[in-house]
Amino acid sequence: MKKKILQSIEEGITAIEQLKKPKSLFFIEQTVEALVRCFRSGNKVLIAGNGGSLCDAAHFAEEFTGFFRRKRGALPAIALSEPGFLSCVGNDLGFEYIFSRGVEALGKEGDLFVGLTTSGNSPNIVHGFRQAKERGLTSIAFLGRGGGKLKGVAELELIIEGFETSDRIQEAHMTAIHIILEMVEELLFPIHSEQESIEEEALVGGALLS
């Protein structure tokens, strides 16, 4: 068993090391800049995924609306995961339209749509990207297995190559997401001094209590 555990650890490292590639670094940098522009302009982020990728989408969103590494103002991000909505649209229109309907309901020009799919072929994510394009949203894709049908569709895309199962791909996706969150927070909420940090914490705390 130890040998198998070590093999799995090495696979995880191999997946995450793909983030060092120039195209992956470019994706991370450009995604950070797109998110910063979106938030500074008063827009929001919509995030979608299935199964484990939906859990990653919810994680991504809550780190914006809550806190990541420091106390600061909330940032508008929504994971398209509300069960009443998903079951309503899935029942009435079909499961393949749950995310496109969410984008239609909540998305506006200037917003961002983020889709996570390890295959690149999930029909509901594909429809989500189509709706995002129609409504003028910037789109960002976290993909695997060559990118599938969504390769080249989004303005920005990360493709984790060489894995047939979703777990390693999702681990690399989440590492990228954490780095993106860290960089966005650094740019939007820079800490210039210890005193400013104390004042910012007090301001956020007062807003939370009001």
Give the model confidence (pLDDT) of 119-132 as tens digits: 999 999 999 999 99
Give the mean model confidence (pLDDT) for residues 88-110.
97
Grade residue 196 by pLDDT with cuts at 50, 70 and 90: low
Q: Is the pLDDT score of 2 beyond 80?
A: yes
pLDDT (0 to 100) of residue 209: 47
> And the tokens for 38?
């979106």
Counting residues of the chain whose pLDDT is more than 90, the rounded percentage is: 90
Let me know if 52 is exposed, middle or buried by CB neighbors in 10 A (0-12, 13-18, 19+). middle
Grade residue 200 by pLDDT with cuts at 50, 70 and 90: low
The CATH class given to the 18-209 domain equals alpha beta
How big is the CA angle at 54 (ends 71 and 45), to the nearest 5 degrees? Answer: 50
Domain-by-domain residue ranges, the chain? 18-209
Q: Is the pLDDT score of 111 beyond 70?
A: yes
pLDDT (0 to 100) of residue 191: 80
Give the mean model confidence (pLDDT) for residues 60-84.
96
Let me know if 59 is exposed, middle or buried by CB neighbors in 10 A (0-12, 13-18, 19+). middle
- 79-104 core/surface letters (b: 16 or more CB in 10 A; e: else): bbbeeeebeebeeeeeebbbbbbbbe
> Rounded CA gap, 107 and 43, in Å?
9
Q: Is the pLDDT score of 186 beyond 70?
A: yes
| pTM, full prediction | 0.89
> Rounded CA gap, 197 and 192, in Å?
7
pLDDT (0 to 100) of residue 205: 52
pLDDT (0 to 100) of residue 204: 53
Give the mean model confidence (pLDDT) for residues 138-144.
98
